[in-house]
Amino acid sequence: MPIYQHRHLNLYYETFGQGPVALLFIHGLGGDGRTWKYQIDHFAPNYEIVTVDLFGHGRSSRDLDPEMAPRTDAEAIDALARNIIRKPYVAVGHSFASQILPEIIKLAYFNLRAAVFVDCTYQGFPEIIEARMEFARSMLALDDAQLKIETEKWYRNLMLDIKTPDDESLIFPSLLNCDYRWLFRSVGGCREFNRLYPPQDTPDILPVFVMEADNGIGADFQKSWVNHFKSAEYYLFENAYHFFFVSQQQKFSQLLSEFLEKCRLTP
C-alpha cells in the first residue's frame, strides 16, 4: 500500500506506467484517485501516472483541520513530487483542486512544468466566496439524516451526463466513504483560507490549461480561472456536467494530449 508520510499524516498514492514525464492527477471534493481510471488507461503507456487520495478522502489520513486541508494537501503533493516522483510533471486537478493547484504552483518546484484546471472554481471574487460559504452553511445546518440525503442529491446533480454503471462506479462510491460534515466544513472555510492563501497571488509562471463544462463552472465566467491566467489555453465542453473527464473521456484525453504536445512534454 503506497503511503507518503507528510508530518504525521499519511497520503495514499498510486503510480502507473513509466515515462520521462509524470502526470499527477488530483481529484475533487468527495472523490479519490480511482476517479481517473480512463486517464490512467490512456496515458500510462507513455507517461508515469500518479494519483493521490486527498486528506479527508479515500485511503489517506482524515485527522486534520478541514478548512486548511487544501494547503496541507499541496505541501504533501509537492513533497511527493520532490522526493518520490523526481521528474518533470504536470499537475491536473478537478473541482476542489481549485484550492490545491494554486498552492502547488506557489511552492514553485522546478519540476512542475504545467497545470490543468478541470472545472475548478476561481475564488478571486467576494461574491463567489459568499456563495460557497452560504452553500456550506445551509448543508451544515441539516441533521445527519437530511445531510446525507441532500449531499447525495447534490452530487448526483453534478453527474447528470453520467450514463453507465461503469462510469458511475468511478465517481459515486468514493463520496459514500467520506464524512459529509468534514467536506462542507472544508468548503465553508474558503474565506479564511483565501485570506491566508489568496488565489490572486498565484504566480502566472507556467503553461496553464483551463477546461470547463457548460453546465458547470463554464456557466458563470466569474468563476473561471481565466480571470487570473489571462493567457491560459481554454476549452468549454458542451452538453457537459462536472465530471466530463469521465462522460467525455476520449475528448478530454485528446485535448490533454494536444496541450502536452504544445508544452513539449510528450515522450
Burial of 62 (0-12, 13-18, 19+ CB in 10 A): middle
3-262, CATH topology level: Rossmann fold (3.40.50)
The structural domains of the chain, with segments of one domain joined by +, span 3-262
- Look over the chain and give the mean of its residue pLDDT values, rounded to a whole number: 97
For the segment 185-203, what is each residue's pLDDT rounded down to a tens digit?
Answer: 999 999 999 999 999 999 9
256-261: average pLDDT = 98
Give pTM, 2 decimals.
0.97
| pLDDT for position 69 | 98
52-65: average pLDDT = 97
For the segment 136-184, what is each residue's pLDDT rounded down to a tens digit?
Answer: 999 999 999 999 999 999 999 999 999 999 999 999 999 999 999 999 9
31-35: average pLDDT = 98
| pLDDT for position 1 | 61
Closest residue by Cα to residue 219 from 232, 200, 233, 236: 236
The residue type found at 60 is: S
